[in-house]
Structure 1
Amino acid sequence: MDKALSGVTILDFSHLLQGPFATQLLADMGAEVIKIERAGSGDMFRGMTFFAKWVGGSESPNFLAWNRNKRSIALNLKSRRVHGLIMEMAKKADIVVQNFRPGVLAKLGYGYEDFRAVNPRIIYCSGSGYGEDGPYVERPGQDMLIQGLAGLLANTGRGDMPPVPAGSGMADQIGAMNMVYGILSALYYREKTGKGQKIEVNLLAGMLAHLAQEYVGVLNLGEDFVRPNSGIGHPGMQAPFGVYETKDGGYVTIAMSPFRTLYETLDAPHLAPYDDLATLFSQRDAVWQKVNEETKKFDRDDLLERMLDADIWCAPVNDIRRAAEDPQVTHMGMIASYEHPKAGTVKVIAPAVRMSETPPAIERPAPLVGEHGREILKEFGVSDDEIAALEAAGDMTVEEAR
């Protein structure tokens, strides 16, 4: 079955998380993604990992997570011979994606104008930390730095402790989604007009956009968020919105529900005097403490059953392993796997979007460095002798599968 983006070719110069996640999402939908890596070392994420361990003894979980359904070619971008080959490839490509610091690729001859000169229909998506210009253009644009700068970090954690970064690369992943949003919009525009264009995405702008309700609140209500000293889940919210302990050492989240429904469900009528909006906000830490004393009288699953029966918005707090085994996660088939030539069976998250006519799918493992270089160049008409010359000069490397 054809996929939604079958026939779309992407030259992917991106590395780390933002760009690779974006191109993986497009690859899941059928786009042909040619990952152009640095000769020798490849994507920087290949050398980074969690827990100081490697999947299968050699492969990075960080890289494996964001690079399925792609083919890799590893080239020396400083080589003029390589530049010529890539420009030939660009004549048949639809999209270029890159997330180097502003100006880096352009200096090597791989900027938007360079690609547009050989293919006016090209869509060139550039990702950065802070945009293509401005006072921060030379700064490193890393996820946690953006969380701090944009205001997310200051909103997270308890008020009597330091701010807490999100436990995932939220700025990078939001940036990836914005890349996809821009690319798909540009593809639609090109279908109507025949014109390509340049897309600029940056982590700071994306993070700001996803903090829209917080900015609207602060800038229009004349108040600043102050983190609570309890498990309240947002610095602008009143009790009981937050995280609560249970008798068996677990935790649950409680979101929106009438406070009366909650204290009646907990058999805690002594909480009734707190039941008005102003009090639930001004005394939220004290209310959280009193509610927490009640939730600790129940085991987690018993408490959840009781609250769900009362239509209280609640959920368990799972760690990654427990979430992967959650009945709803299992039902949705969100834990998938692929076979990797060195890492073996790799468990991954399945595509999150369902489509009735063109369903996304996992069809390739994350590639080895330059694994598909020879076959890619042959498809673009490069001779065996030229390929051998590239390898001999060190302008292309190919890591062989076992």
Structure 2
Amino acid sequence: MEKALSHITILDFSHLLQGPFATQLLADLGARVIKVERPGAGDLFRSMTFFNKWVGGSESPNFLAWNRNKRSLALDLKRPEAKETIFRMAAKADVVVQNFRPGVMNRLGYGYEDFRAVNPGIVYCSGSGYGEDGPYVTRPGQDMLVQGLSGVMAATGHADGPPVPVGSGFADQIGAMNMVYGILGALLWREKSGRGQEVKVNLLAGLMAHQMQEYVAALNFGQDFERPRSGIGHPGMDAPFGVYPTKDGWVTIAMSPFSKLVEALEAPHLMAFNDPAILYDQRDHIWEQIAAETRKYGRAELMERMLAVDIWCGEVRSHREAAEDPQVRHLGAITSYEHPVAGNVKTVSPAVTFSETPAAIDRPAPLVGEHSREILSEFGFSQDEVEKLVESGAVAQA
């Protein structure tokens, strides 16, 4: 079927998570994404993994996660032949994406002005940790570091423990979404104006923007959030909002009438706390009192009791448990694809549904330089030209 972005060609110089997730989202919608990688080593994520294990014995789950539906062109960007090749391709491309440290692409001769000189309609999107200049410009812009700087880490965890980072690359993934948002906006404007532009995204500003309600409260009330000592689920919320133990696992309880929770737990003594001021001021003590009651039930039984009286609640699941959840199965949120080395790779499906131009996984994550010859041929390079580039070392083929 036709895909929404099948007319868009992206030169993707990005690595690790932020940029690659952004271009994967666009590739899922049909964009022709050409991943420009270092010959041999490729994207740094190819050498990183979890659990000290490799999918299929050699492939990184980190790389496989963010690079499906792309093709790889292995090119030594420091060679003059590579620069000529890139700008010949850029004349036909729509978007450039990069997330090197600020200044790196400019020093190599691949900055926005360099691309605009050969293609005034190019959309050039840069991702960084803290922006392109300023006092932190030389700092490494890594996800956990940005979580610490932005406030989200200080607001997560228990008062008697350390600040807690989110258990996934939250800042990078927000940054990726902002890249997609910026690129699509620039492409729409180009349709009207005929002109490209430069789009800049940074992790710090992005993560702060996604804590909008926390910043509005803290700045306007002149009061910082204080982490609770208990399992209260947000530093600004009162009881019962939080995570609670059962005989065989954990459940979450969100905004719900306190009297309904008392009914579900069959614990009338808890009604003594049913006052908005008390529910906040004594939230840690109340959490402990509620937890003493939830521990009496198995997770399934407690969920049934709470749902029966319309409590906002849910199970706490591990990643593998979540993959088997009946609603996850119904949504088709877990899928797989075949990789030439890793074999069958289980992954998460595209999350957005389109009635006319559905997203799909058409290609596995590529090997380094797997498509070098194919890509250059499509951009009008003759077979002799391609072979000369390979022989010179500017281009590599898997």
TM-score normalised by structure 1 residue count: 0.98
Question: Secondary structure of the residue that 1:359 maps to in structure 2?
Answer: coil
Question: Secondary structure of the residue that 2:189 maps to in structure 1?
Answer: helix
Instruction: Note if 1:169 corresponds to 2:169.
Output: yes
Distance 1:74 1:254 in 2: 50
Instruction: Note if 1:333 corresponds to 2:342.
Output: no
Within 5 Å, give how 1:1-400 maps onto structure 2.
Answer: 1-248=1-248, 250-399=249-398
Most deviating of 375-384 and 196-205: 375-384
Q: Could you report, residue by residue, the CA deviation over 1:299-321 in whole angstroms, capped at 9, with x for unpaired residues?
A: 00110011011110000000000
Distance 2:158 2:179 in 1: 33
Distance 1:374 1:117 in 2: 26
Deviation at 1:216, TM superposition (A): 0.7
Deviation at 1:39, TM superposition (A): 1.5
Question: Secondary structure of the residue that 2:201 maps to in structure 1?
Answer: strand
Deviation at 1:383, TM superposition (A): 2.3
Deviation at 1:384, TM superposition (A): 2.3
Q: Could you report, residue by residue, the CA deviation over 1:224-245 in whole angstroms, capped at 9, with x for unpaired residues?
A: 1111110000111101000000
For 2:19, give the aligned amino acid.
Answer: G
Distance 1:13 1:397 in 2: 16
Distance 1:131 1:186 in 2: 19
Q: Which runs of 4+ in 1 moved over 6 A?
A: none
Most deviating of 382-391 and 345-354: 382-391
For 1:390, give the aligned amino acid.
Answer: L
Distance 1:276 1:80 in 2: 72
Distance 2:93 2:244 in 1: 52
Aligned residue pairs total 398
Q: Could you report, residue by residue, the CA deviation over 1:310-366 in whole angstroms, capped at 9, with x for unpaired residues?
A: 110000000000000000000000101110000000001000000101110000000
Question: Secondary structure of the residue that 2:303 maps to in structure 1?
Answer: helix
Question: Secondary structure of the residue that 2:187 maps to in structure 1?
Answer: helix
Distance 1:378 1:138 in 2: 39
Distance 1:380 1:222 in 2: 57
In the alignment, structure 1 segments of 5+ residues that lack a partner are: none
Question: Secondary structure of the residue that 1:153 maps to in structure 2?
Answer: coil
For 1:210, give the aligned amino acid.
Answer: H
Deviation at 1:221, TM superposition (A): 1.1
Question: Secondary structure of the residue that 2:345 maps to in structure 1?
Answer: strand
Distance 1:360 1:240 in 2: 39
Deviation at 1:396, TM superposition (A): 1.8
Q: Could you report, residue by residue, the CA deviation over 1:358-400 in whole angstroms, capped at 9, with x for unpaired residues?
A: 110000000000100011111112222222222223222222x
For 1:349, give the aligned amino acid.
Answer: V
Identity across the alignment (%): 69
Distance 1:5 1:338 in 2: 21
In the alignment, structure 2 segments of 5+ residues that lack a partner are: none
Question: Secondary structure of the residue that 2:177 maps to in structure 1?
Answer: helix
Cα RMSD for the two superposed structures: 0.7
For 1:331, give the aligned amino acid.
Answer: H
Distance 1:325 1:264 in 2: 31
Question: Secondary structure of the residue that 2:45 maps to in structure 1?
Answer: helix
Deviation at 1:69, TM superposition (A): 0.4
Distance 2:173 2:306 in 1: 33
For 1:393, give the aligned amino acid.
Answer: S
Question: Secondary structure of the residue that 2:101 maps to in structure 1?
Answer: coil
Question: Secondary structure of the residue that 1:323 maps to in structure 2?
Answer: helix
Distance 2:269 2:321 in 1: 35
For 2:385, give the aligned amino acid.
Answer: E
